[in-house]
Chains A and B, each alone.
Chain A
Amino acid sequence: MELLDRYLAAVGQNLPKPEREDIVRELGENIRAQFEDKEEELGRPLKDAEQEAILKQVGNPLLVAGRYRQDDRSLTLGRRIIGPALFPFYAKVLWFNLGVTTLITVLIVVALFEAGARITLSGTISSLFWTLAAEFIVVTLIFAGVERHASKFPDHWDLRKPRNSGLSRVMERGEADGTPRVSRFQSLARFVAGAVFLAWLRVITHSAYWVFGADVGAFRIEPIWHRIYLPIMLVVIAGMIQAAITFIRPEWVRFEALARAVLSLAGLAILVLLATAGPLLTVRDAAPNAAQLHVVHTVNGWFVFYFSMLAIAIGCIVVFSVRPSLRRRMRTHRQS
């Protein structure tokens, strides 16, 4: 029954927790009854291939779990883009990314408003709208691709492989069957966040109007920003590549930990460079007025605050990323 257990585990990890045990138990009993019926018909125990044929008939674990979610919502633009089985996972990734982006935007707007910068409501809404629209498009395109793949190849999943990379594990959480894995939800969310951040960075560096609104002409961003633009881009792109790799190969836990540690250290180096570079924003005018000086002073203060917080967060990420690998290494060393 090993194959059946793995199938049920794959269905179970995509089900809502309160109902998971009950649904898996019922589904398992129904499939076992089907196995027994077939065994009686053949007069012998079922081979793995025969069990697998029955499981294929029941359906892709992800899609079966989606049907149990009692969620009939779907995304339709002329024709169906994302069906009800995949929609709950799509909604989860989309709301997570949109929520984080909105939170970050609100923090930036509050900081600039407090600094006295002239923030216009229309400018803020327009900036937020385009960022969220970009995020919506990226997430929708990814899930539309997954949906298309699922409809075109409904049998493209194989529970006999020790590390199944099929659709059934697209949204799995880590360690569902006891083996450590990087959550695909996390990898996908990081990939989308990286793509949107790149788009945002490009817009900001090409038009400071999005940040400073009508006051854009009064301030100057120091050249250090232009020097670190490329390193930031490279770190973000490397992070996206790493997220794409761990999406395809979630079992590469060590690679993920190592890559995250290296990228975090690179991020930390950029932050140190920024924090020690002196004022990051200055007034363009040779004889600035008090209000402009206040804006510059407060914005630079916020930069230092944000960078310190980020540096602490990144430091924690580095420690938590390398700790499991170090522990494993130490255990192996002690045993040998």
Chain B
Amino acid sequence: MAIDDTQFENLRLELRRGSLVLAVLAQLRSEQYGYTLRKVLADRGLEIDEGTLYPLLRRLEAQGLLVSEWREDAKRSKRFYRLSASGKIVLKRLLAEWKSIDSSLDGIVKG
């Protein structure tokens, strides 16, 4: 049975979802606001929609992984996010998990 575009898109999104959280947490080791974070991620090859990234930041903050504050930048008030103390611990564990999955997958794919 041939896989259609919608099915592929769903699988792709599922694969990306976890990786995006990891990328956002890793990037927020240094403080950023929503738009600049998106630009940095895009420059590093990870495009993420605004409609996905901005709500994700708030969700991660609600989970206690990020902290934020409103601050003036270029004469405008912006909300800056950075990794919280518990976010740092979670990121460390997630990165270890990611590396383990990556090396396992590498072995599986190469046969």
Interface residues of A (CB under 8 A from B): 23, 26-27, 29-34, 37, 57-59, 63-64, 67-68, 70
**Do B51 and A32 have beta carbons less than 8 Å apart?**
no
Q: Is B29 an interface residue (CB 8 A)?
A: no
* Chain B residues with CB below 8 A from A26, complex form: 34, 54, 79
* Chain B residues with CB below 8 A from A33, complex form: 33, 35-36, 76, 78
* Chain B residues with CB below 8 A from A29, complex form: 33-35, 76-79
Alpha-carbon separation in the docked complex, A61 to B55 (Å): 13
Give the shortest distance, in Å, between B59 (CB) and chain A (any CB).
6
Alpha-carbon separation in the docked complex, A30 to B76 (Å): 11
Count of CB-CB pairs between chains A and B under 8 Å: 50
* Chain B residues with CB below 8 A from A31, complex form: 35, 50
Residue of A nearest to B37 (CB): A30
Interface of B is mostly: helix
* Chain A residues with CB below 8 A from B51, complex form: 58-59, 63-64, 67
Interface size on B, residues (CB 8 A): 18
The 0/1 profile, CB within 8 Å of A marked 1, for residues 18-45 of chain B is 0000000000000001111001000000
Alpha-carbon separation in the docked complex, A65 to B51 (Å): 9
Give the shortest distance, in Å, between A322 (CB) and chain B (any CB).
42
Supply 19 further A-B pairs (C-beta < 8 A) apart from A59-B49, A70-B55.
Answer: A29-B33, A29-B78, A29-B79, A30-B33, A30-B35, A30-B50, A31-B50, A33-B76, A37-B35, A57-B49, A57-B50, A59-B51, A64-B51, A67-B51, A67-B52, A68-B54, A68-B55, A68-B58, A70-B59
* Chain B residues with CB below 8 A from A63, complex form: 51
Alpha-carbon separation in the docked complex, A27 to B50 (Å): 9
Q: Is B62 an interface residue (CB 8 A)?
A: yes
The 4 tightest CB contacts between A and B, nearest first, are A59-B51, A67-B55, A33-B35, A30-B34
**Do A23 and B78 have beta carbons less than 8 Å apart?**
no
**Do A23 and B58 have beta carbons less than 8 Å apart?**
yes
26 A-B Cβ contacts within 8 A?
A: A26-B34, A26-B54, A27-B54, A29-B33, A29-B34, A29-B76, A29-B78, A29-B79, A30-B33, A30-B34, A30-B35, A30-B50, A31-B50, A33-B35, A33-B36, A33-B78, A37-B39, A57-B50, A58-B50, A59-B50, A64-B51, A67-B51, A67-B55, A68-B54, A68-B58, A70-B62
Give the shortest distance, in Å, between B26 (CB) and chain A (any CB).
20
**Do B54 and A30 have beta carbons less than 8 Å apart?**
yes
The 0/1 profile, CB within 8 Å of A marked 1, for residues 44-81 of chain B is 00000111101100110010000000000000111100
* Chain A residues with CB below 8 A from B59, complex form: 70
Residue of B nearest to A36 (CB): B74
Residue of A nearest to B36 (CB): A33
Residue of B nearest to A57 (CB): B50
* Chain A residues with CB below 8 A from B35, complex form: 29-31, 33-34, 37
Alpha-carbon separation in the docked complex, A102 to B37 (Å): 49
